[in-house]
A and B are shown apart, each in its own frame.
Chain A
Amino acid sequence: MSSITKKAIMATLFLSFIIYTSFVYTTGTANDAGENMITEQSKNGKLLFQKYNCVACHQLYGLGGYMGPDITNVISGKGKGPGYAKAFLKSGTQRMPDFHLSDNEIEELVAYLTYVDKTGVSPVKRFKINYNGTVAQN
């Protein structure tokens, strides 16, 4: 493979990467229910979610730890809801530590989980598998 060919392939890949990255940063991720829906309280909740490293055990959209459940839809889940989430956050459980959160912090975390809940579904339990291996959510 000549040096010119290598440089041409590299330049093509690099240019494609820049274009694709721009797409991902803008149009590719614009179709959420998000920016207009997120409140000041839930913005603070997101930072608390990181501060207490909740993702070490829990998942959002299937991404995170494996010790606890996926909490993407903990607010709208059957038999769950804001009260259920608050109870766990207030005092922990046998497996989940008590982080001694203030009432304000609990409210902000629940606001964040409420925001996350409205953006989509995880884990996906109702779906249709297409002939080409792709999946359509029901």
Chain B
Amino acid sequence: MSAFPFFKSRPLHVSMVIAWIFLSAIGGIYYYLPRYCKLPLFSNKLPRLHFWIFLVTGIAILCCYIAGKFGGRKYWEYPPILAVPIVISWLLFGFNYFKTVAKKAGEWPVYLWMWGTGILFFLFTFCESYLWLFPYFRNNIVRDITVQWKAYGALVGSWNMLVYGTAIFLMERIKGDESVARSKLSFAMYFLGLTNLLFGWAHHIYIVPAHSFIRYFAYFISMTELIILAKIIGNWKSSLTEAQKDFHLLPYKFIVASDFWIFANLTLALAISVPAINIFTHGTHITVAHAMGSMIGINTMILLASCIFLIEDIAKHEYTIGEKKAITGGFWILNFSLVIFFIALLFAGAEKGLLIIEDKLSFQEIMQHISPFLTLFTIAGFGIFTGALLVVTPSVKRISKYLRQ
């Protein structure tokens, strides 16, 4: 452990999670555009270049972390120079994407809007997160932290656009119903999501002494997500009937699970966006519960659905009964463990928040108080790993076999 301490392993973990999100979401978009959207890529060479830039930069980042070479900040702790190839790779992706979809005749389905928005806002927010390189931003901590979390809030929103766009695309394909991605309601939800991406980030910085308008505005914008929550609850009955009908389809299982996690995380997000609740939860494990619930419960479920759909398509035949059993078993272990993981973090965070405000115990004593929850959280983490392993192993075997042929 001393050879690989927490200050090295944490950024490594975060970078690998982000790499999983981006590689699988972007890979899906490159695959789906020509094959399902009837939009041949503007260039077939640029995705290869994109892949190699990602791979080489990723290896360089890993080497920096192992060697203890930092200099950046949360999410991007590597030396800032490595941001340059990342920006170049996204410019290539964006150029290829927009040149490709520009050929699309007629109205775009909502997922094409979402993917485009995700690319543009990733580029903007990624560059914005490096404004600290200018003394005007970094020499004023209020501006520095506010701009950092403005960028990160929208940055998470930008990769959510890529992932949720993928979810809508999959729903359209599984159901064979094009209206899913073309209805007024789907566009209304898209614009509401985009509004939250642009303006709803400040719950991260309620306690930072920035202008109070930033806090009030974010509070107001976050509450508009109640509309999304109401829509989810309103659709619950019909969704359940549909879910029961198609639940045997592997990708659909994961989409249904992501729906459940959207509900749980949105409820939590709404709660912690209320300043009176945020004051107790900020800086506690409740924030981690929200981040992990979104990353594993929503994004990973959707991207696993996408990978399973895509690999079945590449391999040209369905998974065997044995493979389906392994994936389904993994699916349940993964989700059950995630529920325990999520609840353990909520309890740990709630107790920590209350004890901090009570102000009677030291930090170490508070950590001892919450350690049973953290032990449960760790055990559930192993459960998540086991479930995920069962889910991905058949797909990895299948894709390795395909690549060997």
Binding site for B on A (CB under 8 A): 1, 3, 6, 9, 13, 16-17, 20-21, 23-25, 27-32, 34-35, 38, 43, 46-47, 50-57, 59-70, 97, 115-116, 119-125, 127, 129-130, 133-135
Contact = CB atoms under 8 A, between A and B. Distances in A.
A28 to B, nearest CB: 4
A64 B276 contact: no
B325 interface: no
Interface stretch (B6-14, B83-91, B170-178, B251-259): B6-14
B279 A135 contact: yes
Contacts of B363: 68-69
B67 to A, nearest CB: 12
B147 A123 contact: no
B208 interface: yes
B219 A134 contact: yes
B208 to A, nearest CB: 5
A6 B207 CA distance: 36
Contacts of A127: 279
B10 A63 contact: no
B356 A125 contact: yes
A29 B216 contact: no
Nearest to A65: B10
Given A69-B363, A125-B359, A53 B204 contact: no
A125 B145 contact: no
B100 to A, nearest CB: 19
A1 B283 contact: no
Interface string B181-224: 00010011001001100110000111111110111110100000
Given A50-B72, A53-B77, A120 B11 contact: no
B138 A46 contact: yes
Given A20-B199, A135-B275, A50 B71 contact: yes
Contacts of A46: 138-139
A66 B285 contact: yes
Contacts of B107: 3
B288 A51 contact: no
Given A16-B199, A32-B140, 9 more contacts: A24-B150, A28-B210, A53-B7, A54-B7, A62-B282, A66-B288, A120-B207, A125-B357, A134-B219
A55 B74 contact: yes
Contacts of A70: 283
Interface of B: 2, 5-8, 10-11, 70-74, 77, 107, 113, 135, 137-143, 145-147, 149-150, 184, 187-188, 191, 194-195, 198-199, 204-211, 213-217, 219, 274-279, 282-283, 285, 288, 356-357, 359, 363
Contacts of A68: 363
Contacts of A119: 141-142, 209
B207 A123 contact: yes
15 contacts: A24-B210, A25-B137, A31-B142, A46-B138, A56-B6, A56-B7, A56-B77, A59-B283, A61-B205, A125-B356, A129-B279, A130-B276, A133-B274, A134-B216, A135-B276
Nearest to A17: B198
B139 A43 contact: yes
Nearest to B117: A10
B169 to A, nearest CB: 18
B70 A50 contact: yes
A124 B279 contact: yes
Contacts of B199: 16-17, 20
Nearest to B79: A51
Contacts of A25: 137, 143, 147
A89 B209 CA distance: 27
Contacts of A29: 140, 142-143, 146-147, 210-211
A87 B211 CA distance: 36
Nearest to B215: A134
Nearest to B137: A25
A13 B117 CA distance: 12
B276 A129 contact: yes
A105 to B, nearest CB: 14
Contacts of B11: 53, 56
Contact of B198 (A13, A31, A64, A120): A13
Contacts of A65: 6, 10
A65 B198 CA distance: 25
Nearest to B121: A17
A35 B356 CA distance: 30
A90 B70 CA distance: 20
Given A6-B187, A123-B283, A34 B70 contact: no
A51 B71 contact: yes
B209 A31 contact: yes
Nearest to B131: A25
B207 A124 contact: yes
Given A13-B194, A123-B282, A32 B142 contact: yes
Nearest to B223: A133
Contacts of B276: 129-130, 133-135
A68 to B, nearest CB: 7
